[in-house]
Structure 1
Amino acid sequence: MTDGDFDYEDLGLVAGLEIHQQLDTATKLFCACPTTRREPEEHDRAFTRYLHPTKSELGEIDEAALEESQVEREFEYLAFDTTCLVEEDDEPPHRLDEEALDVALEVAALMDMTPLDQAHVMRKVVIDGSNTSGFQRSSLVAQGGEIETSEGAVGIEDMMLEEESAARVEESDAGATFALDRLGIPLVEIGTQPDIRSPEQAREAAERIGMLLRSTGQVKRGLGTIRQDVNVSIADGARVEMKGVQSLDDIDDLVRFEVQRQVRLLEIADELAERDASVGEVQDVTDVFAETDSSVVRGALDADGLVFAVPLYGFDGLVGEELQPDRRLGTELSDHAKRHGAGGIFHTDELPAYGVTEDEVAALREAVGAGEDDAVAMVAAEADVARGATEAAADRARTAMEGVPEETRGANEDGTTEYLRPLPGAARMYPETDVPPVEPDPSEVEVPELLTEKVERYTEAFDLNEDVAEQVAYGRRWRLFEDAVERGVDPNLAARTVESTVTSLRRDGVPVENLADEHFHGVFDLVAEDEITQEGVPELLTALAEEPDRTAAEAAEEAGLGSADEDVVRDAVVEVVERNEEQIEAEGMGAFSGLMGEAMGALRGKAEGDLVSEVLREEIQKRS
């Protein structure tokens, strides 16, 4: 069965979303540090930590945290001149940020959710290094709610207000480096009910939630500021959480490929059952490769490493079975081995290859007692890694005989996924005793205008076409657009300026990131007062971007962008026409288009295009 043949209803597809969106607040969730992102090289100090799992109130340790702790890793944290003791976990957290709570309540209102009477902050164990404390602080603030899709309603289960993790800068076998500028930025986590029944509905639901979030005007924008996790299962499979989806364009492919993976795993489990398959014991097979020319194996042995292998009875041909594009059952075994420090595994469905000879494969099979119907997986690595990594691969092979394991997987750019860790359990959460509970007050919340409603208003009130209206409404500068219209600027010019003009300047290498709101306000004021023409706007914005300390009026004066009167325009046009008399004699009005550009260039944005056009036509007609 190919993906195109899947009947999702027949397979019993059930999916849900978790949307994580950073909020654009002035300060972080539990301290007064700014939420502005920094470049890693701006850090002024660094420190290291080792993180270990803690027990829940019931004395249990979360399985995912326990697996993470089996490989000891050193974590380095880059601190900035804006980093405080809370972020370094050297001071208790402050009270939950009120601005972040207000934004969360706006989001709740947009989704018809019911805020809790009292919100308590909890600690969620996270020891992958992304939090200096070894846990993430999170608070349930609202429950219930619903959004509409073309395939039916999708229920909203809950919304958490929590702190963002530190940004991963670099990773190595020994550990990882994180930057603390992102740690603590407020974010909301919105979880849907498992009401989604198709890949297309998953994407549509995510788009709808994203639109509602942006409608608040108080969420951060750009790569990494919103992440989607997707939970997927089929009737005979298991719930799998796919984390870190960066693009909405990837969601439907992720769902399709996960369904494909689970179908393939179920087919493999059935085949293994028919073959009465089993997994043998892990064995040291270093002697088999004593004279090997395989660069990978030889590299491990020359570093005093070992080779361990495990016989997979009845697995021949199935370890190489494709589950997702370019990912096989063997890849899944390799993912588990990598979690224990190995670079990956070799298996007999792909050997001889990578410098391993046919004779070595035969000797390997003999060493572990594997027949022609069996497969063998092996790991060549440091002595303290090889056995544990091979055991991990063997455990995954045993799970393959049972079907689909529940687990957390990481999203890849091509729509496939890779194993991260087991699904977290209840032991992961326990109360945060340093932060008092808060009582959300939704009575003061003003429900914002939806972006879809804003688009409709722009088309009706300002006569923008729908594409331009959508570009402005969904963009970051819609407030600047509305301010410009209030100042008397033509709506189409205002829309063009805040979107297409800025985009064009950015592509030309102009540092538009230097443009602040006051720069745009100054430019629009000059346009509204007829001090500059609309043609002069790009040049003025360029001047302000390159020297942002100046006012719009100062930059316009220095650039000579004042509005020219008709006499000045005519003088400039006559000069252009006289330079091109031969062309005009030959082409007549056919020369108009080329000369119009030359005349506008000569005036450098000092005159409106309509006036220049009118004068140019007159002068050409006089000479033709």
Structure 2
Amino acid sequence: MSEFDYDELGLVAGLEIHQQLDTATKLFCECPTRLRDPEDAERAFTRYLHPTRSELGEIDEAALEESRVEREFEYLAYDSTCLVEEDDEPPHRLDDEALATTLEIAQLLDMDVVDRAHVMRKVVIDGSNTSGFQRSTLIAHNGEIETSDGAVGIEDVMLEEESAQRVEEREGGVQFSLDRLGIPLVEIGTKPDISTPEQALEAAETIGMLLRSTGKVKRGLGTIRQDVNVSIADGARVEMKGVQSLDDIDDLVREEVRRQVELVDVAEELSARDASVGDTQNVTEVFEGTGSGVIRGALESDGVVYAVPLYGFDGLVGRELQPDRRLGTEFSDHAKRHGAGGIFHTDELPAYGITEDEVEALRDAVGAGDEDAVALVADSPSVATGAIEAVAERAETAIEGVPEETRGANDDGTSEYLRPLPGAARMYPETDVPPVDPDPAEVETPELLTEKVERYQAQYGLDAGLAEQVAFGRRWPLFEEQVEAGVDATLAAQTLESTVTELRRDDVPVDELTDDHVRGVFGLVADGDLAQEGVPELLAALSEQPDREADDLADELGLGSAAEDEVRAAVVDVVERNSDQVEAEGMGAFSALMGECMGALRGKADGDLVSEVLREEIQKRA
């Protein structure tokens, strides 16, 4: 795909970055913020959710569409689950630690902090919150970051509660886990100042770096999510949700621009054809005795087939909008929202067991000619009627152009329909939580990660690559703590980054290593009870046995630091076993014997000491 002229198209984009905060407790209760295995759930309960009117008496369109699909939501509860999480008790006060971290983020973004923060309820009835709404509060507004393509304004920073973790889709419902619900989440919204895919990626990377600079955000898959808002001059604002990887943002913007360009072209062609959408009709009789497995399966289950004529749509329903996604795929997304498995349309027929004769009979049944298309759904009567009406509505908007909507981001840069764009009708005040008065003077502005890299080089003598690895890694707070305690900076950096990375590549479960494990290992080195060379073996052992203490495991493995006489005895033994080589090569045998000596000592001795003793013993015999 060739790159578009984004200036000519009038591309406008903005970001919403959602980042979990690494606090001890959740935002409105005292429950821990650690994730749990669904298999550890002790019980479950179910709820049905329905939309509520705002204080203006309005119902949000997105919530209304969500409510048209009747679903049961099951929630997994754990030994740590409390009544607040179950929505059986009012929320507690806003968490102080989460508020302080949010204020640090606001300072890094050069924002104006509000004088008083009021908690609001945001209606969400997709099951992701037991209450049917998400609590959110505005903390700061009017900030800015710099990119190589110019400044990008920051509209606002919100502090809100994370949603429940979706475990699995089920027939007639969804199962959620309550371990994630209520984890403090900061939402950063940019102004629509982004004008290229590359600038969108750079802005997201910059915000991500600022967030990590606090040292108080969670790391790992699912802890940060990006939503991207995109529009072109002749298109419409579309929000794409759930971008997991920063690297996908520029591709997502490019593909959405392509989709909107294609939809604009389709609308112009449909206008030229004077296209229209007909009435939905029951065409079950056309497919009696059909060879299509999908349709036959529906009919054998007392299902029906409904179709809608799309006058002037021939050849356009199969028009590709994004890779492997066509206008017909968009229709299918809407049908699936009403429980259907998908749709068939005449741009792709005959196929899937549907014959040419059946296609002609279908056209005759709905009054479609050669320039027209027909879409059909086979399912139970209730699902088929709702799904085909949704297809008809989406076809109507195709004639108008690009619809405003919320879409889900796919890994390949494409997106799929989720629901209409939400509006102001979904927000109303939370009466159970008192407002707070944020005071930015109570927090210090964190050092940027880019500044840390420079400081680590100047202060600790780390090379640029290692300094960057540590500063942008997850454990820079532990690095600084241990260096302050007297641990050699290079040893600490190499251990936390290079050594741990090498162990991970060897399939050692290093994610089991805690900060206390590392502190214990460094403590043994500092006390002279463990040679630096023994650090990798001890860390690997602790990864496999995380319930053990570093000193106990080091003793069990014989990793205690060897005294000089023990080192000399081991070196002498190696030299004597290789006496012929020493006599023939002299110091030329050093490298080979050094490796053998270190192996014999199994990491119990410092390499410098072994090297010194080995040189002495070789020189004695040379």
Give the TM bin, normalised by the shorter chain: over 0.9
Cross-structure match for 1:111: 109
The SS at the match of 2:407 is strand
The answer to whether the 8 Å contact 1:233/1:259 transfers is: yes
Q: Equivalents in 2 of 1:586, 1:329: separation in Å?
A: 80
Residues 527-554 of structure 1 deviation map (CA, whole Å, 9 limit, x = unaligned): 2233321101112223333444544333
Q: Which residue of 1 aligns with 2:397?
A: 399
Distance 2:388 2:457 in 1: 63
Letter in 1 for 2:421: L
Matched with 2:319 is: 321
Residue from 199, 203, 228 that aligns with 2:201:
203
2:33 to 26, 32, 35: 35
The aligned amino acid for 1:192 is T
If the length of structure 2 is used for normalisation, what is the TM-score?
0.97
Give 3-state SS (helix, strand or coil) of 2:248's partner: helix
Per mean C-alpha deviation after superposition, the further-off stretch among 547-556 and 409-418 is 547-556
Task: Write the distance in 2 (CA, Å) between the matches of 1:301 and 1:550.
Answer: 62
Find the aligned partners of 2:357 and 2:302 in 1 and give their Cα distance.
Answer: 23
Equivalent in the alignment of 1:426: 424
Q: C-alpha distance in 2, partners of 1:430/1:256? A: 35
Secondary structure of 1:83's aligned partner: coil
**Matches of 1:368 and 1:375 in 2, distance apart?**
10
Query: Counterparts of 1:177-576 in structure 2 under 5 Å?
Result: 177-576=175-574
Match of 1:156 in 2: 154
Deviations 1:258-295 (A, max 9, x none): 00000000011111111111111111111111011111
Taking structure 1 as reference, are residues 588 and 385 closer, same or farther at Cα in structure 2, changes over 3 Å only? farther
Cα distance between partner residues in 1 of 2:588 and 2:336: 70
Do the aligned residues in 1 keep the contact of 2:215 with 2:477 (CA within 8 Å)? Answer: no
SS in 1 for 2:122: strand
- Distance in 2 (alpha carbons) for counterparts of 1:241 and 1:547: 46
With 195-204 and 555-564 compared, the bigger mean Cα shift is at: 555-564
Rounded to whole Å, the distance in 2 between the matches of 1:251 and 1:439 is 35
Is the Cα–Cα contact under 8 Å of residues 487 and 524 in structure 1 kept in the other structure? no
Could you tell me which of 47, 64, 68 is aligned with 1:66?
64
8 Å contact from structure 1 (residues 64, 423) kept in 2: yes
Per the alignment, do residues 451 and 360 of structure 1 end up closer, same or farther by CA in structure 2, a change over 3 Å counting? Answer: same
Say which of 119, 135, 140 aligns to 1:137. 135
Q: Which amino acid is the alignment partner of residue 532 of structure 1?
A: L
In structure 2, distance between residues paired with 1:220 and 1:3? 38
Which range moved further: 61-70 or 535-544? 535-544
- Asked whether the 8 Å contact 2:23–2:97 carries over to 1, the reply is yes
Shift of 1:591: 5.4
Kept in 2: contact 1:77–1:179 (CA 8 A): yes
Cα distance per residue 1:515-536 (max 9 Å; x no partner): 3323322322222233321101
The verdict on how the C-alpha distance between 1:593 and 1:363 changes in structure 2, with shifts beyond 3 A counting, is farther
Deviation at 1:327, TM superposition (A): 0.5
Provide the C-alpha distance between the structure 1 equivalents of 2:28 and 2:272, rounded to a whole number of angstroms: 56
User: What CA distance in whole angstroms lies between the structure 2 residues aligned with 1:277 and 1:595?
Assistant: 85
Is the Cα–Cα contact under 8 Å of residues 3 and 256 in structure 1 kept in the other structure?
no
Q: Give distance in 2, aligned partners of 1:432 and 1:533.
A: 58
Task: Please name the residue that 1:17 is paired with.
Answer: 15
Q: Distance in 1 between matches of 2:29 and 2:166?
A: 21
Shift of 1:240: 0.2
TM-aligned CA deviation for residue 617 of structure 1: 4.7
8 Å Cα contact 2:60/2:425 also seen in 1: yes
Q: 1:290 to 1:113 in 2, by over 3 A?
A: same
Q: Distance in 1 between matches of 2:60 and 2:54?
A: 8
1:146/1:155 contact within 8 Å kept: yes
- Cα distance in structure 1, aligned partners of 2:125 and 2:520: 49
Contact kept, 8 Å, 1:119 with 1:440, in 2: the verdict is yes
Number of the residue aligned with 1:169 = 167
SS of match in other structure, 2:29? coil
* Contact in 1 for aligned 2:72/2:173 (Cα 8 Å): yes
Q: Contact (CA 8 Å) 1:487, 1:525: kept in 2 or not?
A: no
Q: CA deviation at 1:507?
A: 3.5
CA distance in structure 1 between the partners assigned to 2:539 and 2:8 by the alignment = 58
Q: Can you list the C-alpha shifts for 1:323-344, whole angstroms capped at 9, x where unaligned?
A: 0111000000000000011001
Which one-letter code corresponds to 1:423 in the other structure?
L
Corresponding residue for 2:97? 99
**3-state SS in 2 of match to 1:449:** coil
Q: Secondary structure at the match of 1:241?
A: strand
In 2, Cα distance between equivalents of 1:133 and 1:22: 20
Per-residue deviation at 1:474?
Answer: 1.3
Q: CA separation of 1:586/1:334 partners in 2, compared to 1, >3 Å: closer, same or farther?
A: farther
* Residues 280 and 586 (structure 1), Cα distance of their counterparts in 2 relative to 1, 3 Å cut: farther
Partner amino acid, structure 2, of 1:227: R
Root-mean-square deviation (CA, aligned residues, Å) is 1.7
Residue 122 of structure 1 is matched in structure 2 by 120
Aligned-residue offset at 1:60: 1.0
8 Å Cα contact 1:3/1:260 also seen in 2:
no
Of stretches 90-99 and 251-260 in structure 1, the one that deviates more from structure 2 is 90-99
Question: CA 1:564 to 1:58, structure 2 compared with 1: closer, same or farther past 3 Å?
Answer: same
Offset, 1:576: 2.8
1:117-144 deviations in Å (ceiling 9; x for gaps): 1111111110000000111011111111
Measure, in 2, the Cα distance between the counterparts of 1:289 and 1:109: 65
Q: Distance in 1 between matches of 2:440 and 2:282?
A: 64
Deviations 1:568-611 (A, max 9, x none): 22322333344445666787766554443332111011112233
The amino acid that maps onto 2:115 is D
Structure 1, unmatched stretches of 5+, are none
SS in 2 for 1:18: strand
Which blocks of at least 5 consecutive residues in structure 2 are unaligned? none
Q: Specify the SS of the correspondent of 1:499.
A: helix
CA 1:351 to 1:617, structure 2 compared with 1: closer, same or farther past 3 Å?
A: farther
Contact 1:173 1:341 (C-alpha < 8 Å) held by counterparts: no
Q: In the TM superposition, what is the alpha-carbon distance from 1:465 to its structure 2 partner? A: 1.4
